Amino acid sequence: MSYKFHPAMMYRMPTHFGPSLGPRQGEDGRKFACKDTPKKTTVSVRFLTDRAQLDGLLPEGFAVGEEPVVTVAASYMTEIEWLAGRGYNILGVSFPAVFTGKQDRAAGEFLAVLWENMCDPIVTGREELGYAKIWAELPDPRIYGGNAHCMASWMGFRFLDLVVEDLTQQPAPSSPSGGDRADDGVLHGILHYKYIPRTGDWGRADVACAVLTPADTPNQVITEHWEGEGTVAFHRATWEQMPTQFPIVNAFEALEIVSYQGATLTRSVGAKDLSDQRILQ
């Protein structure tokens, strides 16, 4: 007798073994509090670039926000509850954007791509949430004497160096909380574009929509905040070096760096399971 789907549970391929397990659904359907985990260190560098270059990276309905400032951020997470205490690392590239739909208006950082060094969060984040996640080698950062150096590579080809220097500790800011909708009705958070092609009809989409991660993150506590000066270098790649990702890396390598806008290193505890992710209409 064939199996049937339980309407109250979440599934992803392969569906034949029961409801899926991941950050939003543990064994027996349990949820994860994300209150004391994960522990995260984030190193980021910001730079001002050409607005027209960023415009070319946005789908319809989106526009570059007030300032064309790109943030390159690498995060290193440990003690993740849904992975039974394991961790993984991520690297994201984002910039301010606004979305105007038939019903919704939203503003925040548009996450153009998010590299991760573990398959499980990539699959769950792409299919369930609409994050533009892909794989890369992301070794732990080298942090010493007020400096930090982060690297990223793909199958041995190093495509990124991110360096922060002269870090000095500053008061820790508060985490976003207290709602995501401003008085003018604009939603705030992280903006994404979810796209899944239609099988056999490759030029059409099964899913194509704007998605929002609401800004509210009440469980997150920033324990340390450091500020310094940073630089970021994407290294131009050939098809032979990165057959599936070289257009992504080269698009970032081509961005004009008008001026650097500072760099940070933060340490935090707590997060959310992102089950508040929503489609924008």
| Burial class of residue 91 (count of CB atoms within 10 Å of its CB; 0-12, 13-18, 19+) | buried
What is the reported pTM?
A: 0.96
Rounded CA separation 266/64 (Å): 26
Instruction: Give per-residue pLDDT as tens, 136-187.
Output: 999 999 999 999 999 999 999 999 999 999 999 999 987 665 555 666 899 9
Mean pLDDT (the chain, rounded): 96
Q: Is residue 12 part of a domain?
A: no
pLDDT, position 228: 98
Report the pLDDT averaged over residues 225-230. 98
Report the pLDDT averaged over residues 51-79. 98
Q: Please provide residue 50's backbone torsions phi and psi, each rounded to the nearest 5 degrees.
A: -85, 125
pLDDT, position 177: 58
pLDDT beyond 70 at 114 = yes
Q: Is residue 49 part of a domain?
A: yes
CATH of the domain at 62: 2.40.400.10
How many domains are contained in the chain? 1
Report the pLDDT averaged over residues 61-88. 98
pLDDT, position 184: 80
Report the pLDDT averaged over residues 228-239. 98
Count of other CB atoms within 10 angstroms of residue 277: 21
> Do residues 220 and 268 lie in contact, with contact meaning Cβ atoms separated by under 8 Å?
yes
Instruction: Give per-residue pLDDT as tens, 6-35.
Output: 999 999 999 999 999 999 999 999 999 999
Give residues with Cβ within 8 angstroms of 223, minimum separation 6. 172, 267, 268, 269
Q: Is residue 237 part of a domain?
A: yes
Q: Is residue 47 part of a domain?
A: yes
Q: Is residue 249 part of a domain?
A: yes
Q: Is residue 6 part of a domain?
A: no
pLDDT, position 113: 98
Q: Is residue 31 part of a domain?
A: no
- In the chain, pLDDT over 70 holds for what percent of residues? 97
pLDDT, position 181: 60
Q: Is residue 24 part of a domain?
A: no
Terminal CA-CA length for the chain: 40
Report the pLDDT averaged over residues 76-90. 98
pLDDT, position 108: 98
Rounded CA separation 82/79 (Å): 9
Q: Which domain holds residue 144?
A: 37-171+178-269
